[in-house]
Structure 1
């Protein structure tokens, strides 16, 4: 009897250790692949770029996308990640609806910030819409909006600890960005490098959008009204 009691008292701890190990494994794999895949591709791509092209790709566009996304979603992401969506809770549906109502605020805010950032760059550098750099900025802006369309479902998946989903979707998105850039550069399409970089970023955002929406709508039995819960009344 004492032995059985000891085993029972260790079970919750063992479960926590297993959960922690699983979380660590998926997060480590996600970070490794999201950094490792671009490193391998960039080691080839950098040989085909001038210093100006590489600065445009690695600094200017990266700074634009990072700033827009950070200002648009970081506050909502940090707040929503604190939500507790227990799978056995009777109020899970209600809590999920409340979470998504907040998470969807990232989209209108992101659209405003994206437009403001694009207009600021146009005004600051005196660009016209026919300028390839201006077109690349607009394409990058669209890529940001695609990511923001997936943001509520990303937040939902993380609060529900769907770490494998994040691993698969982000790995596929990273591969799509690298492969798109590789194809457009290696096969010498008559296209400005800035446009190539912007299209590769759009491919990344598109796969994030498709991946999360495909999973929740087709594989997780969510409906459109579940994802857009604004018609729910208390």
Structure 2
């Protein structure tokens, strides 16, 4: 029952996170279309690549390992030890911010001060924003562990909306501020983020802390570091697990943001080209961000709190491993279907999308080719994110340590291939290098999964990687038809031809959807079961409140 409750909450969390990511990406989508008409390509490259990379690097190195370790099953028994460990993220963030900020100002190529003035000040502001955000880390982990699924969406959604609207206002009313306007908007985001988390939990502790027996915090002071009588300041096991994830974090960040590091440290593209690449990268990653990332985060939360880390399948509770395997297979089938749909229809509609979005600025040159290859990458992201969320939850600490060495090889290969391919074939090389590395990580996850289930003939979750034959045929037919449609109807023959091309794609998409409904019954049955379970829990909760 506990596993089913976690699954229902994880599914609900994925739904809410998708809403958040859709809202965030749509705001970014509209914002980029707007600012492209008011700021230079160079400014866009500095803000969206250079400064955003600094911000994300500080946060990833400082908190990712702590989050993964502290959300594992069994780590939340002694909350004061968890809180103490999480507060280590703040001094670590100060250290990372100081080191990376100094590197960004001293060792990297500086933008032209006539085009992008106040660059050094912007580095300080974005680094400070990342450090301040770490002050809410204990509350973020507590919210996730207590399954407050709406909290993250509301807090981050309001913070993102505030940043986007303030950016637009400053670009319109005070264009002379330049990069300073983006700095003000970034600090505004951080203040909203911190203010909402602290306000909510202080209110919850005051009103429900003592009434809610499952809630571990009974007073506001419990959110801060403190000694535990007769016990260590923090758990040794949890510290070791955090260190294992910490070592892995550097390498995973290289793989996640690899192209930006190559652009930043090796100067393979100008700031203007970086800006254009980043816009197309944001367009191409829409699905990865607002669909696959929430599925990965919620999947990891479910597997981490359901499976016993490092325990073989035969020693896991039967009901638990059956449910985990079923969820794993259905998640794989779901993300594969979505990823292949994006690949098939993205190929024939990349040019049209870019032309409608920003005109010839993006649709001319390598823009459509970049977006088409990104559709391949999206499919690989979908598979890798789902397989790794299971693998990282099932691995023992020794397995995690061994994987760190493999990640080092992946990272080295990725950096070398990115540099070589970009020098050889241009910005498309970034996407190809990402595809190669993502494929290597998928193969590793498949290998781990096969070994994990080698003693069990009842569970074969990797079958989720293969859609049914009729669905595969419908995808192939749709790709052929939409490709022919693009050649004859798009995109320089007028509005009516474009509408006809869109209609052809809509019809093919409808056919694919019907084939999925007819031949992917197992996946649809599982989704309906979870929806009914969530609905039943919601109705039961309402009846309890009424009583």
Structure 1-normalised TM-score?
A: 0.81
Aligned partner of 1:186 in structure 2 is 172
Distance 2:51 2:226 in 1: 34
Q: Is the 8 A contact 1:85 1:160 kept in 2?
A: no
Aligned partner of 1:149 in structure 2 is 135
**Cα offset, 1:210, TM superposition:** 0.7
Distance 2:99 2:106 in 1: 10
Q: Is 1:197 paired with 2:173?
A: no
Aligned partner of 1:46 in structure 2 is 36
**Cα offset, 1:109, TM superposition:** 0.2
**Cα offset, 1:83, TM superposition:** 4.6
Aligned partner of 1:3 in structure 2 is none
**Cα offset, 1:106, TM superposition:** 0.6
**Cα offset, 1:14, TM superposition:** 7.4
**Cα offset, 1:44, TM superposition:** 1.2
Q: Is 1:107 paired with 2:90?
A: yes
Q: Is 1:168 paired with 2:158?
A: no
Shift of the 158–15 alpha-carbon distance from structure 1 to 2, 3 Å rule, reads closer
DSSP-derived class of the 1:70 partner: helix
1:1-234 equivalent positions in 2, closer than 5 A? 18-83=8-73, 95-125=78-108, 132-188=118-174, 190-191=176-177, 193-221=178-206, 223-234=219-230
**Cα offset, 1:27, TM superposition:** 2.4
Q: Of the two structures, which has the highest relative contact order with CA contacts closer than 8 Å and spacing of 6 or more? A: 1
DSSP-derived class of the 1:82 partner: coil
Q: Is the 8 A contact 1:181 1:200 kept in 2?
A: yes
Structure 2-normalised TM-score?
A: 0.36
Unaligned runs of 5+ in 2: 111-116, 207-216, 231-547
Q: Is the 8 A contact 2:9 2:149 kept in 1?
A: no
DSSP-derived class of the 2:36 partner: helix
Shift of the 74–13 alpha-carbon distance from structure 1 to 2, 3 Å rule, reads closer
Q: Is the 8 A contact 2:69 2:75 kept in 1?
A: no
**Cα offset, 1:60, TM superposition:** 0.7
Distance 1:83 1:208 in 2: 27
Shift of the 15–153 alpha-carbon distance from structure 1 to 2, 3 Å rule, reads closer
- 1:179-210 CA distance string (max 9 Å, x none): 1211111102531x222222222111111111
**Cα offset, 1:125, TM superposition:** 4.9
Q: Is the 8 A contact 2:167 2:181 kept in 1?
A: yes
- 1:131-168 CA distance string (max 9 Å, x none): 71111111111111121111221111111111100010
Distance 1:113 1:62 in 2: 15
Distance 1:12 1:71 in 2: 32
Q: Which protein shows a greater Rg?
A: 2
Across the two proteins, how many residue pairs are aligned to each other?
214
**Cα offset, 1:59, TM superposition:** 0.7
Distance 2:89 2:103 in 1: 20
Shift of the 122–232 alpha-carbon distance from structure 1 to 2, 3 Å rule, reads same
Segment drifting more, 27-36 vs 166-175: 27-36
Q: What root-mean-square deviation, in Å, do the aligned CA atoms of Structure 1 and Structure 2 show?
A: 2.6
Unaligned runs of 5+ in 1: 1-10
Q: Which runs of 4+ in 1 moved over 4 A?
A: 11-18, 83-86
**Cα offset, 1:41, TM superposition:** 2.1
